[in-house]
Amino acid sequence: MSEKSLEKNEIFDSYFKNLSDRERAVFEGGISLGALFHQFIGTPVSEKTKKSLEIAMSESLKNQPFIEDVSVSIVGIIEDGKYVSLTGEMLDVSLTVKTEKNRALLRLKYIKELDYPLMYVEKI
């Protein structure tokens, strides 16, 4: 498991006694997806700079408690020589949360039928 210091802190743990391990996993995953979206939406991005933004988004989220892995894809083609502000529609994010007893796979993905960038639990 992770060596993040908060995860091994007793005071930290004491705040989560009312949650099951599964509930904890989806709670922490939800926080991280909400954080990712609202931290980075609006960032100027072009084809040239996509990669560095995907990496930074993923790396920054790995700092959060119980986040084992994050993969960020900025989807769609941005016209040559142009840049846009990052929107939720452009994001395809997979996030793995690892708690004591569970590993959950969460997703942020634009769902066309909903016209909405949906955050959901793909597997737990």
Chain residues in the site for a second copy (CB under 8 A) = 3-6, 9, 11-12, 15-16, 18-19, 22-23, 26-46, 48-49, 52-53, 55-57, 59-64, 79, 81-83, 85, 87-88, 111, 113-114, 116, 118-121, 123-124
CB of 96 to a second copy, least distance (A): 15
CB of 98 to a second copy, least distance (A): 16
d(CA 7, CA 4): 6
Q: How far is CA 64 from CA 27, 44, 89, in A?
A: 12, 24, 23
Find out whether 57 is annotated in a ligand binding site: no
d(CA 124, CA 116): 23
Find out whether 28 is annotated in a ligand binding site: yes
Q: In what order do the strands lie in the sheet with 103-111?
A: 67-74, 91-98, 103-111, 116-123
CB of 47 to a second copy, least distance (A): 10
Known binding residues for substrate: 28, 119
